[in-house]
Structure 1
């Protein structure tokens, strides 16, 4: 039998994840040693047995075979979470393209030595007379720091006997700073509950050194304790609410999933429900059942802006067993939450894509809310999709995966129709008496013909005025996706599209319009080819411009704006959402982040500006993204018993994505869109791989992509289609040139095999010089 060797890492707690050691796999362990396996190995000169994890297996020894030690054993204990995450890294490397090291850093974030934050607490253990004597001696000896500490503790331990002369003498701490000493109430209760001593937080503002506390403790005057502080920032509180009673549809889903879990039927599930149908309440009831069995839950959300709403809802039900994680937390805050998950002191982790790798040891459920969102796809290598990786992690952990959306991705809905996912439907709003909002589609071409040149239709202005007068709230959603590059006519709504690919053409600064799928190029027209109007060009109008216009029409209105500029700080998003939820503003203006999953009870009106602009992005998914954005935006109105209204402003009122979004008719939209994808051979009907090369040297980028393209054409087997090389939609960014080509195949595995061939040829060549290559399977962004 041919010898087999395993590359083993012995320490996954630091950043040097590519430091591996090769060991022989003994014949008796063949079949038991796999990527991710925990093994015991003889290490060092003394051959002490230590734990390691297998990262790779090969038949090629890296040194003389006689010098390679053998694996000692594979422990019979159950799979550990580290093994599970390493297997997941191998899955990411194979299916999305990256080095194993990069995949490992994705699933096993580097555990730097981050010191835990601690607060000091002290209790006076000497009698009152002895403590006051120590204070008197310290004053005589002019030990200023010791005086401050003793005065502070004695005054709070014996408040009724402290003399006015003593109170505050030499103690220059302001009352505000003194109040901060009692911040960690839980720690105080814990310490004081464990003994009859009164422990008091020693605030840093006392300005003392550690030696002062050590001296007082050594002399028996005080006892000092350190308590670890959770650095997770506090969130604004939501108003408490009664626990809703599930309606018949919701209860049926919960009951069926309970039964399936009991019978170990863990097929992924898709909950497809109209906006406001109560998917979150369904999640909460399922989670309650899961954690009652001692298992843990990961809840993925697409936007940081949804953290506040979800964490508060979950904490009402599950108290402090809930935590959250996202990129705006500090390294220390994130480290604390990962540590709590590892220790089992929390049951539920909420967060965007990266929360998928929370190191829970007994994972029972993964939920992906608003699963259609593009934010679940990583923009940087490895360019994995959270849906696919979550499905694999659930499989490895023996957990269930639940996807939820009012506008499912075509990929998920097609899988549900094919039987790969179990499909559940919620057809009505959860609040009794609530109904879907009335929707009005306004043709902005007609507004222009009638002399209205503002960005607001007359109907929207009238409805805003009425909503303000009635004390309701309004949301204005600016659909800006794709606005920079598409060319359209304001008179007739015509968009310049590629005749070969049915996607909008992209404007370049050289005056050309280019299709970024096939390369078709034409000069920028001076007039609309359809109606001959001169009003042809790109679209613009951001949130700040909209805000200024609203102020002119409604100067007394209270306005909030939520966009990239107003949410730079860690707490900005939470503060805006909290303020609008409390009714502290009349109008909320924003882009995509305001329409994703928020539940604002007082919103009566939603205005959608430039609804069709995302249709014109140079992207075959543009109709799907438009339907999703419009349906989600419309779903923010009338979520309580009061009726709601949505005004959709568009230059293409007849487009099927706009018409179906207005009525939330996802099934009809799916029927139309999947027919287009089949005809054009786009995902999810056909799998697609983008191979891109980047370099600051234009010739190097071109040479690299042409070399890989030639290899792909040579290696392409039956069923694989390799398309021509072209420039990226945005050819140059930060002085880096970007070129790419596409490969299509119905069989995903064949594309992964081709990717492996390209990666191996790059390694064999020693790299691509000054260029780099990236692989993107079924890309969500235009290239």
Structure 2
């Protein structure tokens, strides 16, 4: 008898044995999809091994063999196993992260014999479990997208001459389409674009073309890193520091890290690029692990950075005016001389806090522990965490008084004040609800959506309202993200960037005023080294959630007690409430772990977590949060 070892896309770190029926005994290769029964449900699984023995007394048979030709070759099995080990997920979850929706649903796929890799053989087991991911990494820094694509073209030409394929990653769909247009000028044929949000059949069509060798270049978002090329020669990761590369579902992989894994396993070069590199990549360049290639900036006059100290305008702050006299004066001069102004404010709505002045009641979400934000345009209270909307109330729900007050600010309040101060100006707005832009604007008020447009935008003057909030986030990457944000804002300004702040000491430093990123990064590395934070170590977040607050809290405490003495290589911190504590009806607690190398503790930590029972509580792990 022969048994198929099947991985399922469930948060259960096991591979399950199923009997291979006589009808499939001669053709049931590793890497194929099968339909199997699991806990009274029929699920699609993936054969990751064949065995002649099993420890299970009653083995269920495979219900149906879906594929005649494997959808997962030995290289992809090796990559998904490594992803599973590094990110502490099940192998099945890693496989499903690598496959398009159509394959996960059991849709038929057409794989040509000419597109087949070498058949899986027993000796290929060495590929699965191989953690040697060293490879040649080139870090491309500087230049515009067009200039970087010219560099990519040279490398793509070299790879295509070797009759190999290229994966090109970008964090956003719009940016992918821009890259696709630029690449098609030199490569009009055998190039495709993919992203997981498109139609499942279209996604599967592109997957088939990549697997069958019908295309040479694939441009896509983070999931494209798993493209099934059998002759891959190069991976390019554009804007490697972008948050869009981080998957928000298990296995919580980061496409840049998976690209490093795949390039190492397949022994091919990898190109990373960014004008504001992640600190991990910057540190790797400093240690000569990556080869730095810089594109010289064109000699243009740099916009100056002006710091507006909001502490000098106490009376103005009492009047709730959001614009400093410095920025207001610049706005007057700019609008009178026909110049354009962009004002950046990364807050939604009109007021961030709604409360009763009499009894102290504060409007909060029913499903979350977040406060509701007042959106003037909708005339509704909205939860930023879960999207819940409530009708506006005139009387306090608790004491029935009419002392309702609105505190804080957002993009709508700023626009309201601008209309009062500049009644004749053409004021436009860009945020998630208003993605369009009038070309004849004089003043543009925008949230972070400003950086996700599919066209270039600039203005003579750019103002930033309260960037201090970026440092108030409980995240060790907050300074790194602030530097990148200021760089992007500065790139929009042709004459001047004005930063309003209540902590001018931070922004008035010479390296900040001149935006000398290398000096800022070096200072940040010193702090990270002293605190033993990435890139000098790795963080793992154990995420616990439960419907009952006391049970979730006690489970997190019990888990901490059982892990804190597990291994000397593992540093375990006491559980803390997540922010927000309650989200969509679930109470969340986090336990932070520090480890030098996540792979070194994979087996030990997975084994210990299997032994621990957490009734009524769900557990997830996120590596490199």
TM-score (norm 1): 0.59
1:360 paired to 2:199? no
Query: Aligned partners of 1:553, 1:338: CA distance in 2, in Å?
Result: 55
Query: Partner residue of 2:345?
Result: 478
Could you say which residue in structure 2 is the equivalent of 1:444? Answer: 310
The answer (yes or no) to whether the contact 2:136–2:268 under 8 Å persists in 1 is no
Provide, for residues 235-279 of structure 1, a one-character-per-residue CA deviation record: whole Å limited to 9, x for no partner.
xxxxxxxxxxxxxxxxxxxxxxxxxxxxxx951122232778943
**Could you tell me whether the CA contact under 8 Å between 1:325 and 1:334 is conserved in 2?**
yes
Task: Supply the distance in 2 between the matched residues of 1:627 and 1:103 (Cα, whole angstroms).
Answer: 33
Q: Does 2:324 correspond to 1:457?
A: yes
In 2, the alpha carbon distance for the partners of 1:82 and 1:551 equals 61
The secondary structure found in structure 2 opposite 1:52 is: coil
CA shift for structure 1 position 654:
1.9
Q: Shift in Å at residue 554 of structure 1? A: 4.5
Change (3 A) 1:88 1:676: same
Whole-angstrom distance in 2 between the partners of 1:711 and 1:630: 43
CA distance in 2 between partners of 1:607 and 1:450 (Å): 18
Is this contact kept in 2: 1:596–1:632, CA < 8 A?
no
Instruction: Show the counterpart of 1:711.
Output: 562
CA distance in 1, matches of 2:21, 2:509: 64
Equivalent residue for 1:104, pick from 95, 99, 121: 95
- Give the SS at the match of 1:434: coil
Matched, 1:769 2:615: yes
| 2:574 match | 724
Residues 240 and 272, structure 2, Cα contact 8 Å, conserved in 1 = yes
Q: Deviations over 1:58-108 (max 9, x none)?
A: 998234799999xxxxxxx9x986332222221121111212221111011
Q: Distance in 2 between matches of 1:756 and 1:771?
A: 17
1:15-164 → structure 2 map (5 Å cutoff): 21=17, 44-45=22-23, 47-53=25-31, 55=48, 61-63=54-56, 82-110=73-101, 111=103, 112=105
Assess, with a 3 A threshold, how the Cα gap between structure 1 residues 313 and 462 changes in structure 2: closer, same or farther: farther
Change (3 A) 1:746 1:107: same
Gaps in structure 1 of 5+ consecutive residues: 24-41, 70-76, 117-264, 487-506, 510-537, 568-575, 639-643
**Aligned residues of 1:689 and 1:742 also touching (Cα < 8 A):** yes
Q: Check whether the contact 1:712–1:754 (CA below 8 A) recurs between aligned residues.
A: no
Q: Which moved more, 1:410-419 or 1:552-561?
A: 552-561
Q: Which residue of 1 aligns with 2:118?
A: none
CA contact (8 A) 2:430 2:449 kept: yes
Q: Is the 8 A contact 1:560 1:587 kept in 2?
A: yes
- Find the aligned partners of 1:275 and 1:660 in 2 and give their Cα distance: 23
Other structure's SS at 1:743 match: strand
Provide the secondary structure at the position in 2 that maps to 1:49.
coil
Cα deviation, 1:396-451, whole Å, max 9, x if unaligned, reads 3333221111211111111121222222233423xxx5343222222222244577
| 1:142-541 map, 5 Å | 266-273=135-142, 278-319=147-188, 321-429=190-298, 433-448=299-314, 453-468=320-335, 473-480=340-347, 540-541=408-409
- Specify whether residues 661 and 602 from structure 1 end up closer, same or farther in structure 2 by C-alpha distance, changes over 3 A only: same
Q: CA deviation at 1:472?
A: 5.2
Q: Distance in 2 between matches of 1:309 and 1:771?
A: 44
Q: Is the 8 A contact 1:376 1:385 kept in 2?
A: yes
Aligned to 1:563: 431
Seen in structure 2, the aligned counterparts of structure 1 residues 438 and 342 have a Cα distance that, compared at 3 Å, is: same
Normalising by structure 2, we get a TM-score of 0.72
Given that 1:439 and 1:645 are in contact with CA atoms closer than 8 Å, whether structure 2 keeps it comes out as: yes
- Hey, what's the Cα distance between the residues in 2 that align with 1:321 and 1:341? 10
1:345–1:611 distance in 2 versus 1, CA, 3 Å: same
Cα offsets for 1:676-704 (capped at 9, x unmatched): 11222222222222212111122332343
In structure 1, C-alpha distance between the alignment counterparts of 2:618 and 2:94, rounded to whole Å: 17
Which string of whole-angstrom CA distances, capped at 9 and with x for unpartnered residues, describes residues 613-636 of structure 1? 101112222111111111122122
Deviation at 1:393, TM superposition (A): 1.5
Among 597, 601, 605, which residue is 1:755 paired with? 605
Query: Closer, same or farther in 2 for the Cα pair 1:63/1:453, shift >3 Å?
Result: closer
Q: Which residue of 2 aligns with 1:665?
A: 516
Report the counterpart of residue 637 of structure 1 in structure 2.
493
Select the residue among 603, 609, 627 that pairs with 2:483.
Answer: 627
Q: Deviations over 1:35-75 (max 9, x none)?
A: xxxxxxx8624733343235269998234799999xxxxxx
Which one has a bigger Cα radius of gyration?
A: 1
Structural RMSD (CA): 4.1
2:5/2:50 contact within 8 Å kept: no
- Given that 1:303 and 1:593 are in contact with CA atoms closer than 8 Å, whether structure 2 keeps it comes out as no
Q: Does 1:543 align with 2:399?
A: no
Distance 2:417 2:509 in 1: 25
Equivalent-residue separation in structure 1 for 2:485 and 2:185 (angstroms): 30
Residues 540 and 283 of structure 1: is their aligned pair in 2 closer, same or farther, counting only changes over 3 Å? farther
Quick one: which of 508, 519, 527 aligns to 1:676? 527
> For the structure 1 residues 485 and 545, does the alpha-carbon distance in structure 2 shift closer, same or farther, using more than 3 Å as the test?
closer
1:695 matches 2:564? no
Give the deviation of 1:736 after TM superposition. Answer: 0.5
- Does the CA contact (< 8 Å) of 1:97 and 1:383 recur in 2? no
- Give, in angstroms, the shift of residue 544 of structure 1: 3.2
Q: Is the alpha carbon distance of 1:441 and 1:46 closer, same or farther for their aligned partners in structure 2, counting shifts above 3 Å?
A: closer
Aligned length: 524
Gaps of 5+ in 2: 32-46, 63-68, 110-133, 354-368, 372-405
Q: 1:371 to 1:470 in 2, by over 3 A?
A: farther
> Structure 1 residues 114, 108: CA separation in 2 closer, same or farther (over 3 Å shift)?
closer
Residue 209 of structure 1: aligned partner: none
In 1, Cα distance between the equivalents of 2:411 and 2:51? 55
- Residues 633 and 279 (structure 1 numbering): CA distance in 2 closer, same or farther, change over 3 Å? farther
Distance 1:352 1:698, change over 3 A: same
Match of 2:399 in 1: none
Report the counterpart of residue 736 of structure 1 in structure 2: 586
**Counterpart check, 1:609 vs 2:455:** no
